[in-house]
């Protein structure tokens, strides 16, 4: 049985809430302005549990949590699921920030390119749920050309293991290279569509989410998104 998670001493906690410095927190405690679960705090060394309710002058306070929105150019061989205990290399481990991040959707281990990590649950849900119609584009090199009939069949949608696989669009870029546009991100969806046509995927790179493009970010590198870029990821249109 595990013990309840414990936060730092109350002075440090108040400082993390942006209320005051730790020295200022001591003054607030001495003035009788701080309470935990409705009981006035008298000792600055008291430790609190994560589910305790802390108030200053009767107003609840919580630590500030910086929201991070990070784009990563995922290299081949990295797993996106943080909880995969069998994965040798996790994509999130390429990102060196103190916040706990999760991916907005996934790229399978053999796929590359643009993936977003964040600690904003609402944002992650919006990017990943098909009802929000956030389109993703992939550049896919196959081991052979698709016929016009095969492209037409895929665009109409195919059934595979009880799932409907239906891209928004497929465009030939020449020399066995295609651009697939998807709204949903079913498990290995593009690879399954290619297999239906008797083709294998040689390389698969996600190049955009909404209007945000991967650009020249090198493989294995990451950076924070600007506010404008966050809005681009949520755009339903692709230019």
Please determine, for residue 50, whether its predicted confidence score (pLDDT) is greater than 80.
Answer: no
Please determine, for residue 13, whether its predicted confidence score (pLDDT) is greater than 50.
Answer: yes
Whether 108 is a known active-site residue: answer yes
Residues with Cβ within 8 Å of 117's Cβ and at least 6 positions away in sequence, in order, are 68, 70, 71, 72, 91, 92, 95, 101, 102, 103, 104, 222
The DSSP H or E segment spanning 23 is helix 22-30
* % of residues, the chain, pLDDT over 90: 60
Q: What is the reported pLDDT for 27?
A: 82
Q: What is the reported pLDDT for 84?
A: 67
- Exposed e or buried b for every residue in 114-145, given b needs 16+ CB within 10 A? bbbbbbbeebbeebbeeeeebbbbbbbebeee
Going along the chain from its start, the domains and CATH numbers come out as 6-61 (3.10.290.10), 69-233 (3.30.2350.10)
Q: What is the reported pLDDT for 1?
A: 40
Q: Tell me the per-residue pLDDT of 98-137, one tens digit each, with 9 for 90 and over.
A: 888 888 888 999 999 999 998 887 888 888 888 889 999 9
Q: Confidence class of residue 77 from pLDDT cuts 50, 70 and 90?
A: very high
Please determine, for residue 87, whether its predicted confidence score (pLDDT) is greater than 90.
Answer: no
Q: Tell me the per-residue pLDDT of 133-163, one tens digit each, with 9 for 90 and over.
A: 999 999 999 999 999 999 999 999 999 999 9
Q: What is the reported pLDDT for 85?
A: 67
Q: What is the reported pLDDT for 195?
A: 97
Please determine, for residue 19, whether its predicted confidence score (pLDDT) is greater than 70.
Answer: no
Q: What is the reported pLDDT for 196?
A: 97
Tokens of 172: 């030939």
pTM of the entire structure? 0.73
Candidate list 52, 108, 160, 168, residue with the active-site label? 108
Please determine, for residue 62, whether its predicted confidence score (pLDDT) is greater than 70.
Answer: yes
């Amino acid at each position: 049985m595990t013990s309840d998670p414990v936060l730092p001493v109350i002075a440090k906690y108040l400082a993390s809430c942006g209320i005051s410095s730790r020295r200022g927190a001591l003054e607030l405690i001495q003035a009788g302005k701080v309470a935990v679960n409705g009981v006035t705090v008298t000792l600055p060394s008291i430790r609190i549990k994560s589910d305790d309710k802390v108030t200053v002058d009767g107003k609840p306070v919580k630590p500030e949590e910086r929201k991070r929105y990070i784009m990563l150019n995922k290299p081949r061989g990295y797993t996106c699921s943080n909880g995969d205990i069998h994965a040798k290399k996790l994509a999130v481990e390429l990102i060196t920030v103190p916040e706990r991040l999760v991916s907005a959707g996934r790229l399978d281990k053999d796929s590359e390119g643009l993936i977003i990590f964040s600690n904003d649950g609402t944002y992650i849900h919006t990017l990943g749920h098909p009802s929000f119609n956030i389109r993703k584009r992939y550049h896919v090199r196959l081991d052979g050309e698709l016929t016009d009939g095969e492209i037409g069949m895929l665009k109409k949608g195919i059934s595979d293991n009880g799932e409907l696989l239906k891209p928004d669009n497929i465009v030939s870029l020449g020399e066995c290279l295609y651009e697939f546009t998807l709204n949903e991100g079913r498990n290995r969806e593009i690879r399954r569509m290619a297999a239906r046509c008797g083709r294998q995927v040689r390389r698969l790179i996600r190049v955009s989410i909404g209007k945000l493009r991967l650009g020249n970010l090198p493989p294995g590198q990451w950076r924070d998104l600007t506010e404008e870029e966050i809005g681009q990821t949520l755009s339903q249109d692709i230019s």
